[in-house]
């Protein structure tokens, strides 16, 4: 190392090669709103290459000062100047549109490096929640920081806010446990959540005898006009069944098998987006109310902010497809899950994987639109991971598609496209 470099490094300025090289998360100030930008740097001596929000950049490091320019295919450019101090970058970016170069926009920013994946054994965390959030917000302070590969054991309150002791802890509306900060997770990654265990931890669930508007035609609406009262279900954990506590005449023998599931699992959306309520869903996951998000399932969600910020909640002891009552058998839950991070891979919508199937979840304002999104999302999956051509995608979907209706109770309807792994095994 050149003496000057040593000097500068000692002065807190320059970084050794290994310091700049890597993935960074930039947080820029867009007129008062924070915005995350993806940055990847390779340092060779004073030369810098890499990508800035996916576009190629070239620049230099000189005396603790970073300068680079990135350009996209349309000729729009970003010119970045920053100081390196304490492992962080602080500076400005000037964005210029190719067709309006006279009006560049200047934003200040800070950037920090995505923490490297830690070595060593993965850890087990016991976490007892004390606060429950009602928005999938990137601004809530993480309740726990974990590493990829770590396992967390915790509990969730029911949709109405009551915990395993039937104590109401928070106003209802699917209050969530979390957010959990997962190290190394950066915008553009995928968060992987494997549900090791979903265990019921009390003996009752709340539901009702309503049918949601999306499920009724005008005749059925008239028939159901007096429905809508609360129904409390007894959860017989030993026998593995749920029964109405006070069954009416024809339901005296009626029971359903317990099928513990999580109605909500989400990452935080991006900083610039209004934090969604915990009754909502979208590309970030959320209140999907899909009854195959059960013990043993793996859920894949996009990472939009550093640490991903994972939320879980809205446990159901059992639920028919669609959550037709608006409420399923709402109850508290004992949850154990293991997290992982797949770096720099995009998914179009939430994915779920079971022992037998891969599943793409479409969440839109109507079943017709959710159906299209589920199909398009699975087509993307087959193109990305199985390298299928459009013609091949059509042939596989046409012969192997299995659709389930996930959810009709909330603002978004959910349709799930499932493919049996036996079909897929021959594609690899």
| Cβ atoms < 10 Å from Cβ of 35 | 15
Q: Which of residues 79-108 bind its own copies (CB under 8 A)?
A: 99, 103, 105
CA dihedral 40, 42, 48, 50 (to 10 degrees): -40
85/251 with CB nearer its own copies: 251
| Near its own copies in 365-404, by CB under 8 A | 365-369, 371-373, 375-376, 379, 383, 386-404
Q: Which is nearer to its own copies, 5 or 212 (CB)?
A: 212
User: Burial level of 100, CB count in 10 A (0-12/13-18/19+)?
Assistant: exposed
**Segment near its own copies (CB under 8 A), from 83-91, 111-119, 191-199, 419-427?**
419-427
**Per CB under 8 A, does 221 bind its own copies?**
yes
Task: Please tell me whether residue 329 binds its own copies under the rule CB under 8 A.
Answer: yes
| Helix, strand, or coil (residue 283) | coil
> Residue 63 or residue 244: which is nearer to its own copies going by CB?
244
Whole-number minimum distance, CB 338 to its own copies, in Å? 29
Which residue, 240 or 390, is less far from its own copies as judged by CB? 390
What does residue 393 show for φ and ψ, rounded to 5 degrees?
-60, -45
Contact call for residue 9 and its own copies (CB under 8 A): no
C-alpha angle with apex 181: 179 to 187, nearest 5 degrees? 105
Interface residues for its own copies in 129-148 (CB under 8 A)?
Answer: 134-135
DSSP 43-87: EETTEEEEEETTEEEEEEEETTEEEEEEE-TTS-EEEEEEEEETT
Give yes or no for residue 72 binding its own copies (CB under 8 A): no
Q: 289, 314, 323, 330: which one contacts its own copies (CB under 8 A)? A: 323
The reply on whether position 203 binds its own copies by CB under 8 A is no
**Residues 266-305 within binding reach of its own copies (CB under 8 A):** 272-278, 280
Q: At what angle do helices 390-400 and 367-386 cross, to 10 degrees?
A: 120
Cα distance between residue 198 and residue 294, in whole Å? 7
**Bridge partners of residue 135, in order along the sequence:** 277
Closer by beta carbon to its own copies, 60 or else 230: 230
């Amino acid at each position: 190392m050149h003496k000057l470099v040593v000097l500068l490094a000692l002065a807190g300025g320059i970084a050794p090669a290994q310091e700049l090289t890597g993935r960074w998360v930039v947080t820029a100030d867009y007129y008062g709103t924070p915005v995350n930008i993806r940055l990847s740097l390779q340092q060779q001596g004073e030369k810098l290459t890499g990508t800035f929000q996916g576009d190629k950049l070239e620049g230099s490091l000189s005396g603790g000062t970073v300068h680079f320019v990135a350009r996209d295919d349309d000729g729009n450019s970003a010119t970045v100047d920053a100081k390196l101090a304490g492992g962080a970058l602080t500076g400005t970016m000037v964005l210029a549109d190719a067709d309006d170069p006279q009006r560049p926009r200047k934003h200040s920013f800070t950037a920090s490096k995505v923490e490297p994946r830690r070595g060593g054994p993965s850890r087990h965390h016991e976490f007892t929640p004390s606060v429950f959030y009602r928005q999938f917000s990137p601004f809530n302070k993480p309740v726990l920081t974990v590493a990829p590969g770590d396992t967390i054991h915790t509990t969730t309150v029911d949709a109405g806010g009551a915990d395993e002791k039937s104590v109401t802890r928070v106003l209802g509306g699917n209050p969530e446990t979390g957010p959990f900060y997962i190290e190394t997770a950066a915008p553009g990654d995928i968060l992987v959540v494997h549900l090791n265990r979903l265990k019921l931890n009390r003996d009752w669930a709340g539901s009702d005898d309503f049918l949601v508007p999306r499920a009724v035609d005008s005749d059925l609406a008239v028939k159901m006009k007096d429905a809508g009262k609360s129904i409390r279900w007894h959860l017989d954990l030993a026998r593995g069944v749920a029964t109405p506590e006070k069954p009416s005449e024809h339901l005296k023998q009626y029971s359903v098998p317990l099928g513990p599931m999580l109605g909500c699992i989400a990452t935080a959306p991006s900083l610039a987006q209004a934090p969604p309520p915990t009754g909502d869903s979208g590309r970030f996951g959320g209140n999907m109310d899909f009854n195959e998000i059960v013990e043993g399932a793996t859920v894949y969600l996009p990472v939009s902010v550093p640490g991903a910020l994972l939320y879980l909640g809205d446990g159901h002891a059992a639920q028919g497809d669609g959550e037709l009552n608006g409420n399923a058998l709402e109850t508290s839950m004992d949850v154990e899950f293991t997290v992982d991070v797949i770096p720099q891979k995009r998914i179009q919508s939430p994915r779920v994987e079971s022992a037998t199937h891969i599943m793409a979840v479409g969440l839109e304002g109507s079943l017709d639109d959710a159906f299209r999104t589920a199909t398009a999302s699975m087509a993307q999956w087959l193109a990305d991971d199985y390298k299928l051509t459009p013609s091949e995608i059509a042939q596989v979907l046409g012969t192997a598609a299995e659709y389930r209706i996930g959810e009709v109770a909330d603002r978004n309807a959910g349709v799930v496209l499932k493919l049996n792994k036996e079909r897929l095994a021959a594609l690899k």
